[in-house]
Structure 1
């Protein structure tokens, strides 16, 4: 994982001059300023000696009665230890971080007038950067839960940071902790400036679906289509979820809107066929499936659905005729219509089997046709193929 720095520009360290400082605190600040001059041009390691000088002076300052209860003393002590942690690649870095965190808490408690707020914000960025670096290493070693914990800890120092939210969400997904992933990703949904905002919304919808929460899955898919009306992937997600939920009328309108924008999208016509079929409008469903097949004659699912739809239409006509009190001549004519309907299904039923000879649905539908036609040889052949799939 390439780690994005969350430190913005050269650190400006505000100084409080409300009262005179002892020599150790002044020395520490001067040394830390020198370190930051080097750090600002990308050579922080060259300033380690100044950083250590500052640390030694501050350790004396926190023991001196004139400076031990100053928020500024503890703020600088925290800053120095945080920077030492960033530069240390050994286990000692954790000791520096612990000192920085403890000093930060002390500084915050003492800084009642918020005189050190700017420096404490900078400290938060440094500590967050440390956790970001730590998380990246854990990610690279495939320790996704450890990476999540590091990224999440970084957010305690830099709340709402989009990089940490995104990385912690990704780590949680890889650790298969979808609740934690959703908690982070949902925070990113309203942030339009986040570069991966569109993908995040799609992922949130999919994560809710994985958890079996169709309501929220639809909710976020709809948010996505509203924010990105030209995005086909979000539109498809929205359509598929509404079909699953049985929101067919609403789905038909949504699909037709997308068809107007992308008339050559075979999937949209296929989805429209499903939606019309669910509402009982078989004529429009048939027309939609046929449109999908005009675009791609080898579209397996469209062939299966269209063949099955026509087959069922023939069966309905046959049953209706069989149950009606008709004169023989009229009865014979209507039964012939049913068989004519069956025959119009055959090309699609055969095409589906041709495309995928191991599709149980395709083989079963074709077998049904030959059962209606009472062709025992074909029935036996197709049953043998179905048996072979078991």
Structure 2
């Protein structure tokens, strides 16, 4: 009797095994023919039977499941992408050499889908979703650049806890982001484009849209990571941790200008403008022809109450880059900031002859402010022709200076700009 039961049990196991193989074959056939719906139905039917399969059959099943779910995910179904990721992970854990290459191809295709979907999320400013997709990509491919970009998107999503976790993991792994990059120049824009792989660049070169293929080494992003870690600590009120991270980093790399910038950003965030200016001078000394550095020094000096020094820095930035619109705007803003106290004095004057005389003097001073600010604003508007606030400020200045033709022209231009918004 016992022997009879054993035979029946064996027959049942054989039937189940045959059933799961049948469903897997059907799913594979449907996927190859492009019938993803049928493939999905078959793979789901096979999953309920897979428990009794040997490791080789399980590995084959999970690779196929990953392929089917990835095909069904399209460009945006993240839940199905996650299902595919889980399936490929299980297949890799089983470690069957027969499906190893197939699993690698599946993982690579999934990573491409996740990264492309994350890029679309970034365009929509859905940074939380982009971060999650990039982190999922990291978990399956272990490409640390995915983790780095996942952290950056978490920062943009203001999920500082998650960003900090990712950054700390990167620092522990010694991640720098230094790697070989495959680049080419876009013929239409003149911009240097970085491609994911050499094969990717080769394929794009065939389109005829690119020229000058080349290789280069990417710059270290360690300073950016440390900068973000310290700023996150500061935002959480953990100033001591921020200081310690930066101190250790500077000891380790005393001449790393990206770290000096990171410490300067930290000092700025903590309101230590004296330290900020001191550090920025170190940075400028290492790169004296960089207009952005002088601009940042100008911002720091202005925040520290030293507007004259700020103007000196802004002018240096403009000397190095005549098209630095923001530096011109900030100079004009500093000049015009003196208008308020002058108007207040004018309003407080009486009706004596001395007061009338003082009023005329103050009026002349106010007009001179407008004249001093005007060329900077006009130049900035040429560089930023769609800036409504620049146009409005200039229109008011023309009115105050009695430049009627320019006032009318700017008024019409402003109306056109606002009407187009």
- Using structure 2 for the length normalisation, give the TM-score: 0.49
Structure 1 counterpart of 2:300: 275
Structure 2 counterpart of 1:253: 278
Structure 1 counterpart of 2:288: 263
Distance 1:222 1:348, change over 3 A: farther
Matched, 1:384 2:382: no
Determine the C-alpha separation between the residues in 2 that align with 1:92 and 1:305: 55
Determine the C-alpha separation between the residues in 1 that align with 2:253 and 2:242: 14
Distance 1:180 1:317, change over 3 A: closer
Structure 2 counterpart of 1:340: 368
Distance 1:229 1:316, change over 3 A: farther
Cα shift at 1:348: 0.9
Provide the aligned C-alpha RMSD in A: 5.1
Matched, 1:187 2:159: no
Determine the C-alpha separation between the residues in 1 that align with 2:254 and 2:412: 49
Distance 1:203 1:344, change over 3 A: same
Matched, 1:359 2:387: yes
Determine the C-alpha separation between the residues in 1 that align with 2:104 and 2:135: 10
Deviation string 1:217-271 (CA, Å, 9 cap, x unpaired) is 9949957973555555555566567656655343222222212222222112112
Contact map agreement 1:266 1:295 (CA 8 A) in 2: yes
Q: For 2:310, which of 280, 285, 302 is the aligned residue? A: 285
Q: Secondary structure at the match of 2:280?
A: helix
Structure 2 counterpart of 1:141: 113
Determine the C-alpha separation between the residues in 2 that align with 1:152 and 1:168: 9
Deviation string 1:274-325 (CA, Å, 9 cap, x unpaired) is 2222222221122121111111222110111112211222453454365367
Cα shift at 1:173: 6.5
Deviation string 1:37-88 (CA, Å, 9 cap, x unpaired) is xxxxxxxxxxxxxxxxxxxxxxxxxxxxxxxxxxxxxxxxxxx969x969x9
Distance 1:280 1:333, change over 3 A: same
Determine the C-alpha separation between the residues in 2 that align with 1:312 and 1:330: 20
Determine the C-alpha separation between the residues in 1 that align with 2:335 and 2:366: 10
Deviation string 1:114-162 (CA, Å, 9 cap, x unpaired) is xxxxxxxxx9xxxx999987643420333776784575479xxxxxxxx
Higher relative contact order (CA 8 A, sep 6+): 1
Q: Secondary structure at the match of 1:142?
A: helix
Cα shift at 1:201: 5.1
Determine the C-alpha separation between the residues in 1 that align with 2:299 and 2:263: 14
Distance 1:131 1:213, change over 3 A: farther
Contact map agreement 2:391 2:410 (CA 8 A) in 1: yes
Structure 1 counterpart of 2:398: 370
Q: For 1:300, which of 298, 316, 325 is the aligned residue? A: 325
Contact map agreement 1:270 1:288 (CA 8 A) in 2: yes
Contact map agreement 2:114 2:137 (CA 8 A) in 1: no
Determine the C-alpha separation between the residues in 2 that align with 1:327 and 1:147: 69
Determine the C-alpha separation between the residues in 2 that align with 1:278 and 1:131: 56
Distance 1:222 1:215, change over 3 A: farther
Moved more, 89-98 or 293-302: 89-98
Determine the C-alpha separation between the residues in 2 that align with 1:315 and 1:200: 45
Deviation string 1:92-120 (CA, Å, 9 cap, x unpaired) is 99999869979xxxxxxxxxxxxxxxxxx
Determine the C-alpha separation between the residues in 2 that align with 1:212 and 1:135: 38
Higher fraction of strand: 2
Determine the C-alpha separation between the residues in 2 that align with 1:311 and 1:96: 63
Determine the C-alpha separation between the residues in 2 that align with 1:361 and 1:95: 54
Contact map agreement 2:230 2:246 (CA 8 A) in 1: no
Q: Secondary structure at the match of 1:189?
A: helix
Determine the C-alpha separation between the residues in 2 that align with 1:174 and 1:207: 14
Contact map agreement 2:175 2:222 (CA 8 A) in 1: no
Moved more, 353-362 or 166-175: 166-175
